[in-house]
Amino acid sequence: MSLNKVTDLEIEIFSKCNRKCNWCPNSVIDRLSSNTYMSEEVYLKFLHDINKEISNKEKLKISYSRYNEPLLDVELLKKRINQAKDIIPNIITECNTNGDVLIKKGKETLKDLNLDILSIMDYDCKGIEHGKELFAKCEITNITNISITKSSAVDVYIQNVNHTNKLFGTHKNIPLIKYIANWPKNQEIQYRGGVLYDYENKKNKNIISNYGNKGKKLNFIKPIPKSTRRGLLSDNTFSYERKEPCSYPSRGIYVDYDGSVTPCCNIRNDVDAHKEFILGNINETPIKDIFNSEKATKFRETLASWDYKNYPSPCKFCLARCNFGTKPNKPIKNEFLKNLSKEKTTK
């Protein structure tokens, strides 16, 4: 199978995260006490292989966020982003951050950080006003209520997405910066490939926030209501079992810091229950061969089908809304990425 349908790349250039959020598998897996780096040679080979194998790069995006905190080594992040843009000139680069480094170091963090999209998560529930203060400290221009920006792609995007609990900004290096306020209060969390699932009682675990909104129960993605044949609710119970296809394994390539390639963002190399689902390792095998292997192909085909009884164990109770249809903001985001890529081409 060609890699041309792949639009999302996700890669860890190192392993460390400075937090142990209860809603993340890092709460039970140590990513804090040490830091393991992906070698430059492996990273560059991966990018060259992607550039060779994917001809349609119109919406190709690489995220430097998996289960690490990318800004902990911001100088390396800057270097890796520049390398990606040298090899794949129009690629969209993005990452998420818990904001701790920005709070501590301010504008110096963003100097020469040539990202296209940066999302700042307010895990401590400091709110919108804190976001405005952080924007000022980092010399980020608040564009939340501005109708015209330097980027027409960004302009169209911020006019068409939900602004609730969000600020939008821009920086001389970064076209779009999003600040998501009060994250633990408002975000529906995922069950992360079963790490946050209670298999004995067949329901999500009771996850209590240990940062912002401390002591309060976090909300998971809502399960699908059970229905009658006519589509009416039969009672107030819910089905936690996934019964619809998932597009993540077909449109994305996800690489851990050690080179392990996983089928989706919720599966990782350091979870024992996930190890049998690792598709290969880019230290040993070219990404094209991993993606087209019998194991990877079977995983994609199973998740693309409605044969939910045979979905792999990390997927059986995953309610992530990632089917082959569209989410409310999906067309808006796709158009934004396409337009941003065009703007980069014309510069």
pLDDT at 83: 98
Report whether pLDDT(56) > 70. yes
pLDDT at 47: 98
Closest CA to 12 of 34, 33, 39, 32: 39
List pLDDT tens digits, range 153-190. 777 777 777 788 999 999 999 999 999 999 999 888 88
List pLDDT tens digits, range 180-238. 999 999 888 888 998 988 888 878 889 999 999 899 999 888 765 554 444 444 444 55
pLDDT at 163: 80
**CA–CA gap between residue 27 and residue 70 (Å, rounded):** 18
Least confident of 1-10, 89-98, 149-158, 249-258: 149-158
At residue 326, the 3 state secondary structure works out as coil
Query: What amino acid occupies position 54?
Result: I
* Kind plus residue range of the DSSP H or E element containing 248: helix 248-251
pLDDT at 99: 97
Per the structure block, which two tokens stand in for 33?
């006490």
Report whether pLDDT(113) > 80. yes
DSSP 111-170: TT---SEEEEE-TT--HHHHHHHHHHHTTPEE-TT-S--S-HHHHHHHHHS--TTEEEEE
Q: What is the mean pLDDT of the chain?
A: 88
Span 59-83, mean pLDDT? 97
pTM of the predicted protein model: 0.89
Query: What amino acid occupies position 272?
Result: D
Whole-angstrom distance between the N-terminal and C-terminal Cα of the chain?
33
Per the structure block, which two tokens stand in for 61?
């995006």
**CA–CA gap between residue 214 and residue 218 (Å, rounded):** 10
Alpha carbon separation from 310 to 101, 192, 244, 303 (Å, rounded) = 43, 19, 12, 9
pLDDT at 346: 61
Per the structure block, which two tokens stand in for 297?
């192909």
**CA–CA gap between residue 170 and residue 165 (Å, rounded):** 17
Report whether pLDDT(11) > 60. yes
Report whether pLDDT(145) > 70. yes
DSSP 44-89: HHHHHHHHHH----TT-EEE--SSS-GGGGHHHHHHHHHHHHHHST
CA angle 334, 62, 174 (to 5 degrees): 80
